[in-house]
Structure 1
């Protein structure tokens, strides 16, 4: 009898994964929300400033987008490195290092007067900040109870979304009132405050211990992930939809400030408030994925994604903005569910699997986000949106024939 009581006491004292309503869950939720804000505000701090940079350095729209692509390509490079080393280190320590190092580089940016050096600095910033993305989804899948996982992931991605929105709107407004250097400096200060809050609040892992796995085993594991049709399907979808998303928000400002729209800078800045709808998409999709089939949700999100792009072919401003709204909600909904599917499909090497997801995601951002600028240089907006529509349709059929057969 005494033995049974002792066993019961041990069971009660065993750590449990974080669930909604607990103090630990709330600390995780708010800390990753703020980390997401910091990461995306820094990663895309130049996206709303491309017009100003283009004028100051005498670059075309496509060339000015190198600043955004350098950050996202740096992110992709960093994720490839972290795919091999992330499991060797404490999850929180990796995230703290990423937040502090990227913030330092952002604070240095206003001192740079050479465009090429600025591009290089953005590459380094993307590489350093990638540590947060490399381990966050793995951390959540390890530390949060499955019944609350979809909501936790959506909260992190909502932080990404809010950071992207807040950073872009703020930098666009500050650039209009002052200059791009003041805009970037503000983002650096925001990053520093976020990092200090994260260090104080975010809890260390309870269900993960750093482990050194031979590179040979990691390469074998990566090979299996890249030949798993379900995982590969998710990765390619991430490549296509993120590339399309960045393309739209990179270049739409150039269209809206030109005839027939001729919108002033503060109204163009307000376009990034569309990200608020993305936050809704994150949270709703995450909550629904805790209750319903993820494959059905991502399939519907991709159909809405295609519809949004189709509406943006219109020269009518109202229809264009309606299309942008649907497109934004659909993108973030699909992204949220895709992130969850990656963690659910992976039993071993979750940090590698999620790093590969982000790798495809940011390579798509870099390659598609820059290459579609060729159409913008020539004012070929029909061709621009036509390419994006093709990527959306491709994503949907990949979903049907791989991911959505789960």
Structure 2
């Protein structure tokens, strides 16, 4: 009990510093990761590649990110949380600036692949850091605020990119995101409290492999990992190909207007924080499946032709997705008793694997069946996520 009192609690100056640092880190990570999403139609035109090939600028990054997090999450069990997070932010920002000068499509893809490796040092490690340093009663709020930073960063990256592309070029836009990443990295370095409850582990391969195996034998964790794959696969697919739909007649939206659609991510900031705190009070199993159902309803709403209904559907999707992700990610940290960074890394491995694999597969559905094909794919994924969520409500992963 004495140890618990020393953990960071909401309302204290240390908790506010932690949230500022994690917000900045989440902002930078997701601005860098997703700044290319509104540029996919531009990449198709400038580099003469198909929509599915253009999506590789995002899918390759998330795919490498998924794999690399298994390594960096494990390294953080040995080297510590803060050093890994700061190095991740700094190196990713530098690579983003360099990618803005890429002379051709292969070089741009190589830069984005390397970013998948460097970005891996933040998400899973941050989840473990929160679970170790924050009081259990405040974990839901802290994780919600971190994911809120992710949402703001993802939104700002897309919005700034869309606007600056219309004003100048996509290279100017991506370079600006890199500079913002450098600023956020410095802020995180200065404000993030040093770990107090982190206990280094020995760099023994057999011991580290054993802890991985323990996580994979846990049925509750496996269910949450499946949710990560299904939810993120559905979410990123909708946003990947929404721009292709809205740039065509009868909508004919500009790149700035399409980028502005990502202001909807502000809804994710609200829902992740509010629902994360709500789940801490009412129980994760009770709240989680409802948020998955909300996401599914929003996806179906986008099938209607009026622009206002499409946007309303994306608002509902974004609210439900970020709320569900906030609950699930804090659930993993609570469920895993040891090697929390590894457990979080496995969750995010499935999360970004869904983004990479399903995000690119959605291009095939778009090419063959248009938006109806995209929504059909997403409906199957979210229906599966809802079934798993209902099972978790009956047999909670606590």
TM range (shorter): over 0.9
Q: 1:75 aligns with which of 65, 86, 92?
A: 65
Q: C-alpha separation between the residues in 1 aligned to 2:138 and 2:189?
A: 23
Q: C-alpha separation between the residues in 1 aligned to 2:382 and 2:283?
A: 21
Specify the alignment match of 1:5 in structure 2.
none
TM-score of the two chains, using structure 1 as the length reference: 0.94
Q: C-alpha separation between the residues in 1 aligned to 2:172 and 2:17?
A: 32
Q: 1:293 aligns with which of 274, 278, 283?
A: 283
Say whether the 8 Å CA contact 1:233–1:403 is kept in structure 2. Answer: no
Q: C-alpha separation between the residues in 1 aligned to 2:4 and 2:279?
A: 28
Cα 1:285–1:332 change in 2 (3 A) is: same
Number of corresponding residues: 396
Bigger Rg over Cα: 1
Specify the alignment match of 1:326 in structure 2.
316
Q: Does 1:386 align with 2:356?
A: no
Q: C-alpha separation between the residues in 1 aligned to 2:255 and 2:4?
A: 56
Q: C-alpha separation between the residues in 1 aligned to 2:257 and 2:111?
A: 30
Q: Does 1:317 align with 2:301?
A: no
1:15: how far off?
7.3
Q: 1:162 aligns with which of 145, 148, 152?
A: 152
1:57: how far off?
0.3
- Larger mean CA deviation between 150-159 and 227-236 belongs to 227-236
Q: Does 1:191 align with 2:191?
A: no
Q: C-alpha separation between the residues in 1 aligned to 2:132 and 2:253?
A: 47
Q: 2:29 aligns with which of 36, 39, 49?
A: 39
RMSD: 1.6
Cα 1:200–1:317 change in 2 (3 A) is: same
Cα 1:375–1:82 change in 2 (3 A) is: same
Q: 2:8 aligns with which of 11, 18, 22?
A: 18
Say whether the 8 Å CA contact 2:286–2:393 is kept in structure 1. Answer: no
**Structure 2 unaligned residues grouped into runs of 5+:** none
Q: C-alpha separation between the residues in 2 aligned to 1:393 and 1:335?
A: 16
CA offsets, 1:65-123, max 9 Å, x none? 10001111121121121243220112110101101111111111112112112112111
Say whether the 8 Å CA contact 1:44–1:71 is kept in structure 2. Answer: no
| 2:305 alignment partner, SS class | coil
Q: Does 1:95 align with 2:85?
A: yes
Specify the alignment match of 1:206 in structure 2.
196
Say whether the 8 Å CA contact 1:33–1:159 is kept in structure 2. Answer: yes
Q: 2:273 aligns with which of 267, 278, 283?
A: 283
Q: C-alpha separation between the residues in 2 aligned to 1:14 and 1:45?
A: 39
Specify the alignment match of 2:253 in structure 1.
263
1:379: how far off?
4.9
Say whether the 8 Å CA contact 2:73–2:125 is kept in structure 1. Answer: no
